[in-house]
Amino acid sequence: MGMYTTTRRRRSSGLSGRLLLALVLVAFAVGSYYMGTSRVENPVTGEVQRVSLTPEQEIAMGLQAVSEMARQYGGLYQDQQLQNLVDQVGDKVVIRSEAARTPYEYDFHLLADRQTVNAFALPGGQIFITYALLERLATEGELAGVLSHEVGHVVARHSAERIAKSKLTEGLTNAAVIATYDPGSMTGVESARMAQLIGSLVNMKYSRSDELEADYLGVRFMAEAGYDPRSLIKVMQILAESGGGGQPEFMSTHPSPNNRVGQIEKAIEAEFPNGVPDNLQP
């Protein structure tokens, strides 16, 4: 009986110690987040954001990563005519839209990858589209839709927000792991794994929110540049046909293209309550 009581006290003491350490880690993570970030109002979206990078740092970070990102996708596509098309449409989107009011240095890159249907943006304005996606687009307006969406990510400072938030999430997840982990219990191991999964799902949800905001901004930017925003709906259909809608939405870092169509239609209706003008380029 005495041995059982001693063991129980030791376990209780160990649990108390872990909880105390977890609370310290939580306090440190939250304190670091608020002390290491700044509250700034985005001049285009009007959103008050917490970021840890200046626009100049975002630009530098993006420029440093250009070569590595190109290497991962087989380098740049060696067709100057197609690259000129991407530059022409991308520059039109930036110059004629609210993106021109931002401090970022936009540059558009056509990647040689013929298998991966993708487009993405680095912090500060470096934007990429794979040849595999470009060759599936039928009109200049569809290309404008893709590039406008990526410009939206840059303008909304999604990368800067994600960098700041990921540090907070990592700290809170570590605290949860320490608080629940019991080396002598499989239940503790499973709880620790669950805490890590929750942490990753927090960031996934944030990323899906980014995608929807970038769709909304993409509608605005491409319309301001003279393109019919309904072309972005066609892009979603292309992505769905290419397998973009194959995974369940909840466990994907991007909403499924089919589910994004409804949000894009709402954005178009909000932008043009009296209907899309006939003079916009498809």
Are 235 and 137 spatial neighbours (Cβ–Cβ below 8 Å)?
A: yes
Residue with the two structure tokens 């894009």 = 264
Annotated active-site residue 41? The verdict is no
Query: Residue 278 domain-assigned?
Result: no
Domain enclosing residue 248, as ranges: 11-271
pLDDT-based confidence at residue 185 (cuts at 50, 70, 90) = low
- Indicate the range of 2-11, 50-59, 219-228 predicted with least confidence: 2-11
For the chain, the average pLDDT equals: 79
Question: Average pLDDT of 126-138?
Answer: 96
- Asked if residue 222 lies in contact with residue 141, where contact means CB atoms within 8 angstroms, the answer is yes
Ranges of beta strands (E only) in 45-136 are: 48-51, 107-111, 119-121, 126-130
Catalytic residue among 58, 142, 150, 161: 150
- Residue 282: which pLDDT band, with cuts at 50, 70 and 90? very high
Report the percentage of the chain scoring pLDDT > 90. 51
Structure confidence at residue 144 (pLDDT): 98
Residue 277 is assigned to a structural domain of this protein? no
Residue 194 is predicted with a pLDDT of 45
- Domain membership of residue 107 (yes or no) is yes
Burial code (b: 16+ CB inside 10 Å, e: under 16) for 220-243 equals bbbbbbbbbbbbbbbbbebbbebe
Written as one letter, the residue type at 273 is P
Quote the pTM value.
0.76
Q: Per-residue pLDDT for 165 more than 80?
A: no
**Res. 227 pLDDT band, cuts 50 70 90:** very high
10 Å Cβ neighbour count for 34?
12
| Domain count within the chain | 1
Does residue 83 belong to any structural domain of this protein?
A: yes
Token pair for residue 212?
Answer: 């929807």
Q: Locate 204 and state its tokens.
A: 């996934």
Please report which residue ranges of 80-157 form alpha helices under DSSP H.
80-95, 131-134, 140-155
Question: 158-180 and 186-224 are packed helices; what angle lies between their axes, rounded to 10 degrees?
Answer: 170
CA–CA gap between residue 17 and residue 4 (Å, rounded): 20
In-domain check, residue 1? no
C-beta neighbour count of 256 within 10 angstroms: 19
Q: CA-CA distance, 106 to 128, in Å (whole number)?
A: 11
Q: Classify residue 73: in a domain, yes or no.
A: yes
Residue 251 lies in a domain: yes
For the ranges 19-23, 43-47, 126-130, the lowest mean pLDDT is seen at 19-23
The answer to whether residue 172 is domain-embedded is yes
pLDDT 10s digits, 254-269: 677 778 899 999 999 9
